[in-house]
Chains A and B, each alone.
Chain A
Amino acid sequence: MNAPTYNFAYLDEQTKRMIRRAILKAIAIPGYQVPFASREMPMPYGWGTGGVQVTAAILGPQDVLKVIDQGSDDTTNAISIRKFFAKTAGVETTTSTDAATVIQTRHRIPEAPLRAGQVLVYQVPIPEPLRFLEPRETETRRMHALAEYGLMHVKLYEDIARFGHIATSYAYPVKVNARYVMDPSPTPKFDNPKMDNCPALQLFGAGREKRIYAIPPYTSVVSLDFEDHPFTRYKFDAPCALCGAEDSYLDEIVTDDKGSRMFVCSDTDYCEGRQAAGHRGVESAAPHKEAVHG
């Protein structure tokens, strides 16, 4: 047979062992970035090479895989990665948060609560939360070793001095298990509270920067803040225009060139599930009775 065949889940076994060892250390030291020998993957950096390697190392034939990109199951990135594993590992794929055992995500945490036994794999562009404050790896490593995070608080304080509030709205730094300051990847800070005491295992893979880190289940994850400027979730003024949800993270969608816009759930599975259950928003008229925008 001359047809090209892949090892199960694409990666060779030696690479999987190396990644698996890094994952175990990452779980044992919550929030600490474990260096690993990241491989070239058949997709460009920035498209989730770190997350894909972590998923490939943990995935088994009995798993059900869901991939989301900014909450959506339907974008190019999410579809390509789902197809990649359907082809190389033959796993079942799904868009349902509840049915999935492994969820690979780019920059969102699903709205539906995760349960024990599920694994959430994050794609991470820049794993080092201190990198924009201190460019030298030797220095940031020492700062983590000494738990010297004053610089991060200064950065948040400068936000307050300049804007009157902490203006960081995504990749909002968290402290894991009261020890390591960690970058939750560029998820909106709206999602930060979902990481705390989560029953599911959370793994983070950064392919270009060659780091893996983790939050074990039931681990404290605290967003950094000040007593007089406590951490707040972003609050939307409007409910979702399609399902009427008031508790979900919304995308703003421009609907014409006259400044009209609508707000819809970023989590497509959550939104579709609510619509199927009969929830309606202002824009979700029946197809034959199209609502007028603006």
Chain B
Amino acid sequence: MFGNLSDRLVETFKNLRSKGKLSAADIDATLREIRRALLEADVALEVVKNFIAAVRERALGDEVSKALNPAQQVVQIVNEELVQILGGEQKRISFAKNPPTVIMLAGLQGSGKTTLAGKLAKWLKDQGQTPILVACDLQRPNAVNQLQVLGDSVGVPVFAPEAGNGSGNPVTVAKDAIKHAKQKQFSVVIVDTAGRLGIDEELMAQARDIRKATEPDEVLFVIDSMIGQDAVNVAKAFEDGVGITGVVLTKLDGDARGGAALSVAQVTGKPIVFASTGESLDAFEPFYPDRMASRILDMGDILTLIEQAQKSFDEEQAMEMAQKLAKDNFTLEDFMDQMQQLKKMGSIKNMLAMMPGAGKLRSQLDNIDEKEIDRTEAIIRSMTPKERKDPKILNGSRRLRIAKGSGMTVTDVNSLVNRFEQAAKMMKTMAKGGNPGIPGMPQGLPAFGGAGSQANKNKKAKAKKGGKSGNPAKRAAEAAGLPTQNPTEPGAGSAFGLK
């Protein structure tokens, strides 16, 4: 029902893909989709509004990144802003100079405080700390009992002088717990408190009293990642009412997009410290702002892809390549360079699968044989530098040597040389103006297979559809045949011998 953001953006930019630059109208169209995506991810409306305004300003001012299409460019800005609000880098909990370190947990009912207390205790214990759990939730029936069971299963003692179920004073329990911890030299005290509503004055006052009594080093606000727009109110209430030092997101193993994380981080300005990701007591990890940003945008791995493409694509190299093409000195070495650039981007299958809209192509992607690249590379590596620069000198005995050196057959070597010659010829034609707009534009280079271009990718996938022969010689022949079959498809990526 909610098409995912990347697919929708692709749709929005269907007609703009060839354009290098973004107009204000393009940006607004993208931002409308992003606004919707953020709201559907439960980011609070006021946070969305501020956020979109900030992104718009940057997008208008930003220079066009050549490796990306316009939609991706805006999304990348969005991602950077998201990561920044979500805390930039990871934050660790601060330990007291003089133990015990006191960590107090607070939050709404059902946010997962008690379970989290158990997980936190286990995590600290695994790090060599000696934690103790304190049962200050005397409200919910058997919360104390639950904490005891959790303590037992992680091997951490539980301080629980009161049975709970509505009787006993949590402030007194908290005070006594600190004394007890000092006496028995526990290094960390984890105080579990009752769930409370932000508007419940009485219970908020009680939480403040617990805070005063224990002087915690950390007050962690525990919040369910499924929470909706109310996250802002709740976060404000806890920040104003109790004062928090950090946030813990729970139930991240669900499929909620978790926009609340953004709301809470924005409203309180406090870092998200931990993420709780499952029912087992190990399902607990430090919070990764970048992963959360992708999750909120439902962008899958597109951002990883953008990053990879940017890293591995070297603009200078591309310019050089374009010049070489124009001057007709494209060699097997360059051929291999291109291939290595492509390899840097990771598995081709994975890369294509990460592309927005690639879902439809998935079955076809399975037919790609990535080994083909390795084989080609092996053949080229078995050549001498001289041979790579000037394939024309490859006579029969050289070819036999190369075949033996690379573990391939002479037929394979022949077909590679044929493919190279055809590719070089084709690229030369293109570079000389056969296809306008190619030089300097990375998408245009056949070897790059169009990392930034949906159109190229589709064609490429189509070209790969044909079944492969089991016979290596025949297969090589088929591969060699491809470029001539599709001479008009410069984006077919056939220069690699990838079918």
* Physical interaction between A and B: no
